Chains A and B, each alone.
Chain A
C-alpha cells in the first residue's frame, strides 16, 4: 500500500516535470521562430528596397538620357551617371542578399543583363546625340528599345518583389499555424499539469489524513495500554497483598495446630510415658519429629516466598561483620566447637543486608550440616573480584554432592541427600538462588564427593 502510493506520487511528479520541460521547449522554439520570422521580414524588406533602388536608378538613367536628347543640355546627363553607379551597386547588393535563393539569382542575372543592355543603349544614344543634334531614326529605335528594356527590368523586379512577398506571407501563415498549435498545446498541457498537481495534492492530503488517523489510533492504543498497565499493576498489587496475608495466615494458622500436636504428644509422653512400652514411646517420638519437620518446612517456604516478593533495600554491607554475626548466631543455636572457621578478607558490597544475611545463613548452616560427619571440619569463607562482580565463596570439606545432579541443586524441594543422612527441607538453596537472582547476581557450586563442596555467589559491584 505504502510502496504503491509512493510509486504513484513519484510517477505523478515525474510526468509534471516532463510536461513543464516540454512547455519550456515549446516556448523556446516559438521564440526562435519569431526571431527567424523577424529576420526574414527584414531580409524581404531589404530585397524590396534594393529592387526599388534598381528601378529608380534605371528610371534616372532613362530620364536623364531622354532629357539630354530633347534639349542637348549635358546637365541632364548627371542623373544618368549617378543612376549608372547606383544601379550596379544595388544589383550587387541584391545579388549578395539573395545568395540563398537560386530563382532570385537567375532573375537577378537576367536583370543584370537587361540593365547592362539598357546602359549600353543609352551610352550609344548619348554618343549619337553628341555626333548630330538632330534626332535620327536610329536614335528613335534605340529609344523604343530602351523603353522595352526598362519595362522588362521593371517586370523582373516586380516578379522578384512579388515572389518575396509570397514567401513572406507563406512564412507568416506557417508561423501563425505553429503558433496556434503551440498555444493549444500550452493550454492543454497547462490544464494537464494543473490536474496532476491537484491529484498530487489530493494524494498528499489523503496520506496526511491517513497518518493523522494512524497517529490518533496509536495514541488511543497507548492510552488504552497505559490504562491496562495501571489496571494490571493494581491487580498485581492486590494479588500481592492477598499473597502476603495468605502467607501470614499460613505461618500463623498452620503452626498453631502443629504446636498442639507436638505439645500434646509431649504431654502424653511426660504424663503417661511410663505406662507405654518402648515401641509406644518411639511412636510418640515419630509424631513429634514430624510435627517439627513440618514446622521448619513451613518456615522455609515462607522465607522462600517472602524473599521472592519483598522489595530490595540496597545499602552498603560490611560483609565481615555480617559473616561473623551469622556464624555467632549459628553457634548459639548449636555450638560447633569442632568446626574451624577460616574467614578471609571480605570485600564490601551494596545489597539488601537482610537477604544476604539469609543467604549466608543458609550456605554456612549447610556447610556445617554437611561436614558434621567429617573428622576435622574446616569451613572457609572468602571473596574475590570477578569482572564487574564481587564473588563470595563458602567452602567446606564435608560430604559434598554428586555433580551429576547439579541441575537439581537449586530447585525447590530438591534434595541430593536423604533425610536419614542429613535433615533438610530442600528449600534453603532455592531461597539462596532466588535472593541472588533478585540482586542480578549468579550462584554456582562445585564438589567432589567425600571431599567437600564450594558455593560461590557473585553480586554486582
Chain B
C-alpha cells in the first residue's frame, strides 16, 4: 500500500487491519483515496506527519489532504496524535476525521475540544460504515478547498 509516500491524499491511522481494509475498500469503491498510506499506530502516524524515523525522507510540508484516524489505538491514542497535529502550525490545517467504535460522549467532546474536523462512530454494519467513510472522503478530498500553503 505504501508505494508512494509523497503527495498522498489520505493518511489512514488504524490499528485494526480488518477495519483498515474495509475503509480502503469503501474509499476505492467510490474512487477515492487512490494515494493512501496506512499506518498502524499513533507513533507511526506522528513519524509520518513530521517526517521522522522511517519517514525521514519525507518533508513536513508535504501534507496529506485528510487524516482518517481511529481513536483507540495501542501506544499512543488518537486524541494524543490529534493534539500534536493541532499544536504544530505546519500541520494544524490538515483536516482530521476521528473514527471510533464507541459512542462515548466524553470521547466526542474531547475530540472536538482538540480541534477535530469530523467525528464518525463506526457502526457494526459495513454498509453504513462504508457510506459514512465515503461521504466524508468525498467532502474532504473533493469538495473542501484547503488553504494554499
Contacts from A to B (Cβ < 8 Å): 248, 251-253, 255-256, 258-260, 262-267, 288, 291-292, 294-296, 298-299
Q: In the complex, which of the residues B25, B100, B102, B122 has the most CB atoms of chain A within 10 Å of its own CB atom? A: B102
Known A-B contacts A260-B19, A263-B18; A294 and B101 likewise in contact (beta carbons under 8 Å): no
Looking at the complex, which one of A256, A292, A298 makes contact with B19 (CB distance below 8 Å)? A256
Taking CB atoms, residues of chain A closer than 8 Å to B100 are: 252
Looking at the complex, which one of A251, A262, A263, A264 makes contact with B102 (CB distance below 8 Å)? A251
Taking CB atoms, residues of chain B closer than 8 Å to A260 are: 16, 18-19, 22
Taking CB atoms, residues of chain B closer than 8 Å to A258 are: 124
Q: Is B126 an interface residue (CB 8 A)?
A: yes
Within 8 A of A (CB), among B71-86: 72
Known A-B contacts A252-B72, A259-B129, A291-B124; A267 and B18 likewise in contact (beta carbons under 8 Å): no
A262 to B122: give the CA distance in the assembly, Å: 12
Closest A residue to B71 using CB positions = A252
Q: Is B146 an interface residue (CB 8 A)?
A: no
Residues 115-128 of chain B, each 1 if its beta carbon lies under 8 Å from chain A, else 0: 00000001111110
Known A-B contacts A256-B16, A259-B19; A267 and B25 likewise in contact (beta carbons under 8 Å): yes
B interface, over-half SS? loop
Taking the closest CB of chain B, its distance from the CB of A231, in whole angstroms, is: 28
Taking the closest CB of chain B, its distance from the CB of A414, in whole angstroms, is: 23
A262 to B129: give the CA distance in the assembly, Å: 10
Q: Is A252 within 8 A of B124, CB to CB?
A: no
Looking at the complex, which one of B16, B103, B104, B125 makes contact with A292 (CB distance below 8 Å)? B125
User: What is the interface size of chain B, counting residues whose CB is below 8 A from a CB of the partner?
Assistant: 18
Taking CB atoms, residues of chain B closer than 8 Å to A292 are: 124-125
A264 to B100: give the CA distance in the assembly, Å: 19
Closest A residue to B127 using CB positions = A266
Could you show 26 A-B contacts with beta carbons less than 8 Å apart? A248-B104, A251-B104, A252-B101, A253-B101, A255-B124, A256-B18, A256-B19, A256-B101, A258-B124, A259-B22, A259-B122, A260-B19, A260-B22, A263-B19, A263-B22, A263-B25, A263-B129, A264-B22, A267-B22, A267-B25, A267-B126, A288-B126, A291-B124, A292-B124, A292-B125, A295-B124
Taking the closest CB of chain A, its distance from the CB of B19, in whole angstroms, is: 7
Taking CB atoms, residues of chain A closer than 8 Å to B102 are: 248, 251-252, 255
A252-B101, A264-B18, A294-B124 known; 5 other A-B pairs, CB under 8 Å?
A248-B102, A255-B101, A259-B22, A259-B124, A299-B103
A interface, over-half SS? helix
A407 to B122: give the CA distance in the assembly, Å: 36
Taking CB atoms, residues of chain B closer than 8 Å to A265 are: 126
A208 to B13: give the CA distance in the assembly, Å: 77
A252 to B123: give the CA distance in the assembly, Å: 11
Contacts from B to A (Cβ < 8 Å): 16, 18-19, 22, 25, 72, 100-104, 122-127, 129
A to B contact number (C-beta, < 8 Å): 63
Closest B residue to A293 using CB positions = B124
Q: Is A255 within 8 A of B104, CB to CB?
A: no
Closest A residue to B124 using CB positions = A295
Taking CB atoms, residues of chain B closer than 8 Å to A295 are: 123-125
Taking the closest CB of chain A, its distance from the CB of B75, in whole angstroms, is: 16
Taking CB atoms, residues of chain A closer than 8 Å to B124 are: 255, 258-259, 262, 291-292, 294-296, 298
A299 to B123: give the CA distance in the assembly, Å: 10
A251 to B9: give the CA distance in the assembly, Å: 31
Closest A residue to B102 using CB positions = A251
Known A-B contacts A252-B72, A256-B19, A267-B25; A262 and B125 likewise in contact (beta carbons under 8 Å): yes
Q: Is A262 within 8 A of B126, CB to CB?
A: yes
Taking the closest CB of chain B, its distance from the CB of A249, in whole angstroms, is: 9
Q: In the complex, which of the residues B102, B125, B126 has the most CB atoms of chain A within 10 Å of its own CB atom? A: B126
Closest A residue to B17 using CB positions = A260
Closest B residue to A262 using CB positions = B126
Taking the closest CB of chain A, its distance from the CB of B21, in whole angstroms, is: 8
A54 to B86: give the CA distance in the assembly, Å: 146
Closest B residue to A299 using CB positions = B103
Closest A residue to B100 using CB positions = A252
Taking CB atoms, residues of chain B closer than 8 Å to A262 are: 124-126
Taking CB atoms, residues of chain A closer than 8 Å to B25 are: 263, 267
Q: Is A266 within 8 A of B103, CB to CB?
A: no
A342 to B126: give the CA distance in the assembly, Å: 36
Taking CB atoms, residues of chain A closer than 8 Å to B129 are: 259, 263
Taking CB atoms, residues of chain A closer than 8 Å to B122 are: 255, 259
Q: Is A259 within 8 A of B104, CB to CB?
A: no
A252 to B19: give the CA distance in the assembly, Å: 13
Closest A residue to B126 using CB positions = A263
Taking CB atoms, residues of chain B closer than 8 Å to A288 are: 125-126
Closest B residue to A289 using CB positions = B125
Taking the closest CB of chain A, its distance from the CB of B50, in whole angstroms, is: 28
Taking the closest CB of chain A, its distance from the CB of B25, in whole angstroms, is: 6
A260 to B122: give the CA distance in the assembly, Å: 11
A294 to B126: give the CA distance in the assembly, Å: 14
A296 to B72: give the CA distance in the assembly, Å: 21
Q: In the complex, which of the residues B72, B102, B122, B124 has the most CB atoms of chain A within 10 Å of its own CB atom? A: B124
Taking CB atoms, residues of chain B closer than 8 Å to A264 are: 18, 22
